[in-house]
């Protein structure tokens, strides 16, 4: 099923126009809007979908047609009020909850089964890393460059800290490029829809926070060998004795650069780092 509300009609009824200075670019291409909810994995639980940044409700309308219940978080007070008015019947039927607030600060619903959102690009990274640890499938709109970095494989120019961190939580796929003309007003960049499917990584880490901090540290010196990156970034990773880590790590990894390490390589190094480089050996 697809939604019945016209994106242009919603904008007109809301009496708003997108504002690039406020990171507001409304998705108005009905073909894209109709496709986006369908990018959830086939076996995804659609009983309660979380939407970040509802805007005027064009995607909200499609999500209500494709799921049992929707919670939408909207930062703009006028838009939150409009959503409550426009979707009053759905709210009365207990199918929609509108939360006015900042998605980086409000409590996310703990019973959400999926998230489908056209994210504000300025805070897309921060929001994504609030969503991924929830362990639910997502379909999210990003700047195309950000999307490609999320999905990148080791050894490619796009591969980096974002790739390793996102893929630690989920399989990441770019499922559709979206041109600027799909939005009002058109952003200055191309966009892309990304699907994330939760999965356990094929490696183990004892301390997730330390692992992610270690990955961040090494990538801050991606042009250096891993040996030098470990030594030079102890203030970021929190290592007390980085030389002990270098002594314990295999040369095959130390001689590479960060962009050539697979996620399981980072896991191996982080484990050694926590054991040999941190006082107490517990990260």
Task: Please report, in range form, the residues annotated as the binding site.
Answer: 25, 27, 53, 74, 102, 118
Strand-pair partners of 225: 257
Q: Please give the structure tokens belonging to residue 43.
A: 């076996």
**CB-side neighbour CA atoms (13 Å) of 261:** 32
Q: Annotated binding site for S-adenosyl-L-methionine: which residue ranges?
A: 25, 27, 53, 74, 102, 118
b/e 123-133 (16+ beta carbons within 10 angstroms → b): bbbebbeebbe
Strand-pair partners of 171: 197
Count of beta carbons in the 10 Å neighbourhood of residue 82: 22
Q: How far apart are CA 232 and CA 163, in angstroms?
A: 22
Asked if 98 contacts 91 with a C-beta cutoff of 8 angstroms, the reply is yes
Beta-strand runs (E) in the chain: 26-27, 48-52, 69-74, 96-100, 114-118, 138-143, 170-178, 183-184, 191-198
Q: Please give the structure tokens belonging to residue 12.
A: 């007109």
The secondary structure of residue 97, as a DSSP letter, is E
Sign (positive/negative) of CA torsion 200, 202, 208, 214? negative
């Amino acid at each position: 099923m697809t939604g019945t509300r016209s994106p242009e009609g919603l904008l007109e009824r809301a009496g708003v126009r997108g504002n690039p200075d406020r990171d507001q670019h409304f998705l108005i291409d009905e073909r894209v809007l109709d496709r986006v909810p369908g990018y959830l994995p086939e076996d995804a639980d659609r009983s309660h979908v979380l939407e970040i940044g509802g805007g005027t409700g064009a995607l909200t309308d499609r999500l209500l047609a494709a799921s049992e219940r929707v919670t939408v978080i909207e930062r703009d007070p006028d838009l939150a009020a409009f959503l409550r008015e426009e979707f009053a019947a759905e709210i009365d039927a207990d199918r929609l909850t509108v939360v006015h607030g900042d998605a980086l600060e409000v409590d996310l619903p703990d019973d959400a089964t999926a998230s489908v959102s056209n994210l504000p690009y300025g805070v897309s990274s921060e929001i994504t890393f609030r969503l991924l640890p929830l362990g639910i499938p997502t379909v999210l709109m990003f700047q195309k460059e950000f999307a490609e970095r999320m999905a990148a494989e080791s050894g490619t120019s796009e591969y980096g800290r974002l790739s390793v961190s996102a893929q630690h939580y989920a399989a990441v796929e770019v499922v559709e490029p979206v041109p600027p003309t799909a939005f009002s007003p058109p952003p200055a960049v191309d966009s892309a829809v990304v699907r994330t499917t939760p999965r356990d990584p094929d490696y183990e880490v004892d301390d997730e926070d330390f692992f992610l901090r270690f990955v961040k540290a090494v990538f801050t010196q991606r042009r250096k060998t891993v040996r030098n990156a470990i030594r030079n970034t102890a203030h970021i990773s929190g290592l007390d004795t980085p030389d002990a880590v270098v002594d314990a790590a295999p040369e095959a990894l130390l001689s590479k650069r960060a962009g050539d390490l697979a996620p399981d390589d980072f896991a191996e190094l982080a484990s050694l780092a926590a054991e040999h480089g941190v006082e107490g050996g517990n990260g």
